[in-house]
Structure 1
Amino acid sequence: MTTLKNCRPMGGPATDLHIAGGRFAAEAAEGGEVIDCGGRILIPGLVEAHTHLDKSLLGMAWYRNEVGPRLIDKITNEREVKVSLGLDPQVQSERQAILSVSKGTTQIRSHVDVDTHHGLAGVEGVMATREKLSGLVDIEIVAFPQSSMMPRPGTVEMMDEALSLGADLVGGIDPCGIERDPKGHLDAVFALAEKHGKPIDIHLHEQDALGGFSMEEIIARTLAHGMQGKVTISHAFCLGMTNRAYAAELHARLAEAGIHIITTAPSAVPVPAVKELKAAGILTGSGSDGIRDTWGPFGNTDMLERAMFISQRNNLRRDDEVEMALDICTYGGAAIMETQGYGLNVGDRADCVLVEGEALAEAVAMRAPRKLVLKGGAVVARDGICVREAP
């Protein structure tokens, strides 16, 4: 039983919020703990809706990156050097997840590699971390065939096993650019989803008309399988195409099919226009993608920083626009992950973060260390430090 005294929910007037049984309550209970929030802004827990917990190099020796520019170069290199580096997916996933908690993230969707080289080691490692950090952060696992399925016999069967083992979603990757077999790949992805009764989250890096073609195929299968509201397309770079009339047509069709978009707002490629997605009624979330991995040396798991990146890539400057970017990193991701009881209302789960600033936009601009992070009403981080020490 806890009272958060003098907090400002979503930057509004100062008030006291009460917590009982891990949820926000209408009244305070006698004898409960009182935490003085000092007039700081309270927001729901940040949502990391797209990352790769199994492959971060956090805490390991510096990796010198000399990998070629193509996507397939990065994929092939990573698959091979994970062995030479001695990467332990359980340890690395725990390190990244603990860092995420310290930044105010209370739930994570992680794509985890499934391939014929490493088998299910990544899934098993992240599942162990999920259990180990239960109560600190919720982790959702996407079985992700990054190295492709169709060109690598046996991968479909491993994906099937990963889903039986406990992976929460079926992943996929560029049906044309990586798989070279859009029909075979999407048939396999949707068949696995239908067999296991699980949602789908597909990486789509393909740009322009090629990406548009793959997106149309995903839309068609979503409707044919009756999976409206159960399919997410991550990255969706093609929606940043210069042909805005075609992009608008894709927006309308995505909305009709109830397909969600997750953008990481990278700097080097076209990205979906989040204001257009919102206008079309498309649920949008965000994530950090890779954190200090063999693809690149950057990333710190901070979803307030990600809201800043979304703002910069989409030229969002007004307070209400920056608030929209923050909404993508909170309510948007939570809605895509179908989180029950997310928010700051009575009855909602007490997953929340105290942030600095006079307004939400300033909180994004400052990105100061999080004063307090609660998960189910329990303190899991203070002053930017998680209560659990990383391995």
Structure 2
Amino acid sequence: MTTTAQHRPTSALLITDVRLRDGSQVDVSIADGRIAAIGAGLPREPGVTLEDGAGALLLPGFVEGHTHLDKTNWGMRWYRNEVGPKLTDRIENERRWRAGSGHDAGAQSLALARAFLQAGTTRLRTHVDIDTDAGLRHLEGVLATRDTLRDVLDMQIVAFPQSGLLGRAGTDALLDCALSAGADVLGALDPALIDGDPVASLDVTFGLAERHHKPIDIHLHEPGEIGAFTLGLLLDRVAALGMQGQVVVSHAFCLGALPERERDALLERLADLRVALLTTAPSSTLVPPLKTCLEKGVTLFGGNDGIRDTWTPYGSPDMLERAMLIAMRYGLRRDDDLALAFDCVSSTAARACGFTDYGLHAGARADLVLVDADTLAHALVARPPRKLVVANGQTVARHGAAPESLN
């Protein structure tokens, strides 16, 4: 599935003298929000705006595969984090703080989404809390942000029960309303450890998804054997309902802790059912093995998770930074291995989320990033300012700053 930005008519653009990842020098022709051609020495047509790339490295627009725009404190005063160590501590603390402070999901999601654009992200999947206290208020704010930026940012919204599905009566009805109101994907959270009944939890989740014909993206923090049990139940339902290619398992920490034989059996099922994995590559938690996933044919992509919220002071809307952190977490040092980390926030993430018309080829949506870097590996490590960001054929950032029209 995909959400597609509305195509506002744009003037034709020719970007000259840029380098592809293989080092070849090319020009890029853009018309009506699409890449018309990529090649050396493209003709300079009358009336076409010229942009001198000056030898910069050309990259596709980045893809954020997992964030929480509605929660962020981006641009606000520093939040003093004194939350307890348990997942439930963070959930309850966040609910209290958002209710008491009047946190505005609309204004905050817009601020962070614009920061993502300026840093080169043109496709984004965000989870949004659906809560029996807040109702659909957070969703309404993020829907407004999506509408404001619809011409340049392709955004998918996940209706996410941050407190679980079964513990607070009425959550399933709110999720039902959220999917009808414009959410693209159904979220879920730890069916065993949060909901306490993985069978019932997954039954409700898959029932809602089937009713609305929506894909699923489930947070699975559950460790070891508990997580493996839940993952097995989930895969059974994917097979039974024919939902191959429509489910993402975010985090999947259990796959980093299981014995190799049990882990590999699950990876083979994931590959066979085309269930993708999302990792934020946390430094202190076991994660699914990147290269083993690739060898088994499992799609593994990347995202930030929360950014500057009550859960964490960390995170950044710069997906080159996230790619570098993924590379560091997996011990990637060779230039070709660093390219795997970049794929996690570009082509692989686009495929996993269902963002169509992605990439650097004729006919793709014109989402481009120019950086002054020798190679892709250099760009990940140095993370230079974005020289130019084009989204849906429109210039949305130059030298790290947005034009007045986006402010």
Aligned pairs for 1:183-262 (under 5 A) are: 183-262=199-278
SS at match of 2:54: coil
| Deviation larger for 32-41 or 161-170 | 32-41
Partner of 1:376: 392
1:5 matched to 2:55: no
Taking every aligned residue pair, what percent have the same amino acid on both sides? Answer: 47
Q: Distance in 1 between matches of 2:13 and 2:254?
A: 47
Aligned to 1:55: 71
Please list, as runs of the form range in 1=range in 2, the aligned pairs for 1:85-104 lying within 5 A after superposition: 85-104=101-120
Residue 17 (structure 1) shift: 1.2
Contact 1:354–1:370 (8 Å) recurs in 2: yes
Shift of the 61–389 alpha-carbon distance from structure 1 to 2, 3 Å rule, reads farther
Q: Which range is displaced more, 213-222 or 235-244?
A: 235-244
Post-superposition Cα deviations, 1:75-130, rounded to whole Å, max 9, x if no partner, equal 11101110122100000100110110111000110000001011001111000000
Deviations 1:245-292 (A, max 9, x none): 221111101001110011110112101111111111112221111010
The CA deviation at 1:177 is 1.2
Kindly report the root-mean-square deviation, in angstroms, between the aligned alpha carbons of the 2 structures. Answer: 1.3
**Matched residue of 2:127: which SS?**
strand
Q: 2:285 aligns with which of 269, 279, 290?
A: 269
Aligned residue in 1 for 2:93? 77
CA-to-aligned-CA distance 1:48-101 (integer Å, 9 cap, x gap): 010000010112222111100011100111011101221000001001101101
Matched-pair contact (CA < 8 Å) for 1:233–1:262: yes
Cα distance in 1, alignment partners of residues 292 and 363 from structure 2: 32
CA positional deviation for 1:14 = 1.0
Match of 2:340 in 1: 324
Q: How far apart, CA to CA, are the structure 2 residues paired with 1:243 and 1:371?
A: 46
Partner of residue 144, structure 2: 128
- Cα distance change of structure 1 residues 390 and 31 upon mapping to structure 2, 3 Å threshold: closer
Q: CA deviation at 1:155?
A: 0.2
Q: Is contact 1:116-1:155 (8 Å) kept?
A: yes
Gaps of 5+ in 1: none
Number of matched pairs: 391
Conserved? CA contact 2:13–2:49, under 8 Å: yes
Contact 2:123–2:355 (Cα < 8 Å) also in 1: no
Deviations 1:178-197 (A, max 9, x none): 11110111111101110000
For 2:132, the equivalent position in structure 1 comes to 116
Q: Is the 8 A contact 2:198 2:230 kept in 1?
A: yes
Answer whether contact 1:94 1:390 (CA < 8 A) is retained. no
Higher mean alpha-carbon deviation, 88-97 vs 8-17, is at: 8-17
TM-score normalized with structure 2 length = 0.94
- Which residue in the other structure is 1:308 paired with? 324
Give the match for residue 282 of structure 1. 298
Specify the code of the residue in structure 2 equivalent to 1:144.
F
* Matched-pair contact (CA < 8 Å) for 2:225–2:258: no
Partner residue of 1:20 out of 23, 31, 40: 31
Q: CA deviation at 1:390?
A: 8.1
Quick one: structure 1 residues 119 and 309, their matched pair in 2 at CA, closer, same or farther if it must change by over 3 Å? same
For 1:281 and 1:340, the matched residues in 2 are separated by 20
Q: Write the distance in 1 (CA, Å) between the matches of 2:331 and 2:315.
A: 21
Distance (Å, rounded) in 1 between the aligned partners of 2:206 and 2:405: 40
Q: CA deviation at 1:12?
A: 2.6
Distance of aligned partners of 1:11 and 1:388 in 2 relative to their CA distance in 1, 3 Å threshold: farther
TM-score (norm 1): 0.98
